[in-house]
Amino acid sequence: MELGSEFCREVAGRDPLGADAVLARLPELNAGGDVAALARELDALVAGGRPGRQVDVRDRLAVLRDLGMFLGSLRRHGVEPLDAVPGAGPVLLELGAAVGMVPRDTVLHYGVWNPAGPRRRMFTGAAEEGVLIDAVRVSAPAVERAALALAGLEGLKPDEPAFADGCEEAAARLAVLPEVAARVAGSVDPATFFMSRLRPYMEDVRVGDRRYFGPAAAHVPLYLVDHLLWSGDRPDPGHLLLQEELTGYGLPAWAALHRERAGRPTVATVLARAQAEAGPRPGADLRRTADAVAGLLRSLLAFRGRHLGLVRRAYTADAGYGTGSAGAAPETVRLVLELTRQRARQLRAPGGGAGEPTR
Ligand code: HEM
């Protein structure tokens, strides 16, 4: 599984439970807080027996997406979903195991595998919710492509054309991220819309014997870009813990890549070494690599600067939530920005980035 556009379009196009009609009414059911109807509809989808019959991964992902809309909705209205509809538990566990992901919906289901247009699955139906879904729809595949381009540099040297090409591709993909944050900042009020209206649908729910976080934009695999670009060989303990928690809610291949590359020299480290060796006259490809890496760090910093603004406006002292929907303290967002800033600063200092990594 990758977030290629054809695969995502196919999952989005599927409606294996025939749930289009009931999901079109979901914002209305939620607005009325109609818990009995929500439980009845979820029960009907599960009791129909169709969820367990899916064998194609696209259908399974679409089923998780659609059942998930009811999990978040019931939880929003104060009901633990599987207490209300116990029959959904085994189905979710089986589907999660079959696709190698958590046994519920994630931000990928809600973002990239959510259809556009009238079939779009929404909790509130508000225009701002659409903007947030689109933010994930646009950024998750771009971030994945950027990470895979960086992963493909393994075994190459920073002064080789293919290394420079890979970094340039990653930089071109990631450039969309600050734009996405700006679009969200321009059209979604973090306090009055996100925190008051949407955040309550993103709570954790119990499935089997543990709780699983809801769809959180933090599960977009930016942690992979960090890991491969600058953090994997000098991990800050708090940052590493956050990354490891986030990997649990992505594609299985992302978690495997994160594990495999832990402790290996990052792109920033090999670039800094190559620059130190090349001295004052680096070749054209090494300069291309350096420019692209600088571009990647600029995009990360621009995104994180804007994103921190959203977080601060949302998670105020009286907002009622101590953690984000991925379970992390809002403070960790500032930590990751600060660490990114530090590494970018080191890399800009003459010879500064070539220091030995910490592991
Ligand atoms: C109102 C808008 C938003 C708010 C209030 C917000 C809030 C948060 C919070 C509290 C965290 C900490 C982790 C957690 O959720 O538990 C977080 C992390 C994160 N969020 Fe958001 N977020 C918003 C929009 C977005 C958008 C649109 C994206 C990208 C599509 C995004 C991507 C991320 C990422 C990648 C992280 C992990 C930390 C990092 O890499 O810097 N967020 N966000």
Domains of the chain are 5-119 (1.20.58.1320), 127-354 (1.20.58.480)
287 contact partners, CB below 8 Å, separation of at least 6 = none
Q: Which atom of ligand 1 is nearest to the CA of 337?
A: 41
* % of the chain surpassing 70 pLDDT: 97
Packing angle, helices 176-187 and 161-174, rounded to 10: 10
Q: Ligand 1: which residue has its CA nearest to atom 37?
A: 218
Q: Ligand 1: which residue has its CA nearest to atom 10?
A: 324
Q: Is 45 in the pocket of ligand 1 (CB under 6 A)?
A: no
212: helix, strand or coil:
strand
Note the pLDDT tens digit of each residue in 2-48: 898 899 999 999 999 999 999 999 999 999 999 999 999 999 999 87
- Confidence at residue 351, expressed as pLDDT on a 0 to 100 scale: 65
How far apart are alpha carbons 60 and 15 in whole angstroms? 10
How far apart are alpha carbons 16 and 12 in whole angstroms? 11
Q: Is 180 in the pocket of ligand 1 (CB under 6 A)?
A: yes
Q: Ligand 1: which residue has its CA nearest to atom 6?
A: 311
Cα of 217 from ligand 1 centre, angstroms: 5
Q: Where are the alpha helices (DSSP H) in the chain?
A: 5-13, 20-24, 26-31, 35-47, 57-76, 81-84, 88-99, 107-110, 127-151, 161-174, 176-187, 222-226, 237-247, 252-261, 267-278, 284-314, 331-348
Q: Ligand 1: which residue has its CA nearest to atom 19?
A: 218
Which of 212, 325, 333 most suits a substitution to test ligand 1, by most atoms within 8 Å of the C-beta?
333
Tokens of 311: 């977080």
Q: Is 307 in the pocket of ligand 1 (CB under 6 A)?
A: yes
How far apart are alpha carbons 305 and 34 in whole angstroms? 39
Amino acid at 70: F
How far apart are alpha carbons 262 and 173 in whole angstroms? 23
Q: Is 133 in the pocket of ligand 1 (CB under 6 A)?
A: no
- Confidence at residue 356, expressed as pLDDT on a 0 to 100 scale: 55
Which of 195, 311, 336, 339 most suits a substitution to test ligand 1, by most atoms within 8 Å of the C-beta?
311
How far apart are alpha carbons 222 and 295 in whole angstroms? 15
- Confidence at residue 240, expressed as pLDDT on a 0 to 100 scale: 95
Q: Ligand 1: which residue has its CA nearest to atom 28?
A: 217
Q: Is 222 in the pocket of ligand 1 (CB under 6 A)?
A: yes
Predicted TM-score (pTM) of the model is 0.96
- Confidence at residue 352, expressed as pLDDT on a 0 to 100 scale: 57
How far apart are alpha carbons 28 and 33 in whole angstroms? 9
Q: How far is CA 69 from CA 16, 66, 181, 204, 350, in A?
A: 15, 5, 24, 13, 51
How far apart are alpha carbons 224 and 267 in whole angstroms? 12
- Confidence at residue 354, expressed as pLDDT on a 0 to 100 scale: 55
* Per-residue pLDDT at 355 exceeds 60: no
Q: Is 174 in the pocket of ligand 1 (CB under 6 A)?
A: no
Q: Is 325 in the pocket of ligand 1 (CB under 6 A)?
A: yes
Least confident residue range of 252-256, 302-306, 319-323: 319-323
Amino acid at 9: R
- Confidence at residue 50, expressed as pLDDT on a 0 to 100 scale: 78
Q: Is 108 in the pocket of ligand 1 (CB under 6 A)?
A: no
